[in-house]
Amino acid sequence: MARYFIYLGYDGTNYHGWQIQPNGASVQEELQKALSTLMRRPMEVVGAGRTDAGVHASLMIAHTDIVASADATIWVDKLNRLLPPDIAVYRIRRVTDDAHARFDATYRKYQYHITTSKNPFLRHYAWRVFQPLDFERMNEAASVLFEYTDFTSFSKLHTDVKTNNCRIMHARWEQTGVDEWVFTIQADRFLRNMVRAVVGTLVEVGRGKLTIEGFRRVIEAKDRCSAGTSVPGHALFLVDVGYPERLFLPVSD
């Protein structure tokens, strides 16, 4: 047996998130079912993170252990034939036997999409806001994130993590169309619900309901109740996950 990273993407509209749920469809379950059918034995996969219900991924990484002599190129095609239309495998790559999709990740990058006009083609992939937003002020507030590491105020309550510390590497709003904006945030790790809570609080700044200093006080409060409401999940995408190059074996292997 050998370990492989599976590169995949999915439209999260019809799923209760990445992780297997007792009473709902999940991306992890669909991928495991397809792998089990292909390998003719029970298979397990471990993802780089846990996206929430309705959240999408243009790139998710998962690891699994498969027979080393198999042809990874053929697996990609066969898996895509077995998977539903809203999940696609892009690539399968051999890694070291101790490589871990979650614990070895050096960063994760998310994007949140906002539209200020009604667009039927974006209804599953962008959040429509009706009030004008000051994106310049929102970027000023976003830059405050770099000054802190404890983001308890943006974490879902009662999670099982040992620390709420994260190192944010990038956080910025950019205009991508006449009425469309995207917030890109990259960090070494994220807390449960963190991106949606950060965006919701930045929107409060953009609406003039929260000052830059007020945003700073929200972070320093280390209290989820002090932050803004979490924005809807359907406009959030996991877009990239990074790993040390030492994990990857030569393609010839």
CA atoms within 13 A on the CB side of 43: 25
Q: Is 52 an active-site residue? A: yes
- From first CA to last CA, the distance across the chain in angstroms is 13
Q: How far is CA 181 from CA 130, 142, 208, 239, in A?
A: 13, 14, 18, 16
Find, among 224, 225, 227, 200, the residue nearest to 214 by Cα: 227
**Which amino acid, 169?**
M
User: Residues 11, 52, 104, 240: which is the catalytic one?
Assistant: 52
Closest by Cα among 194, 187, 185, 186 to 156: 194
The angle that helices 135-142 and 212-221 make with each other, rounded to 10 degrees, is 40
* Catalytically annotated residues: 52
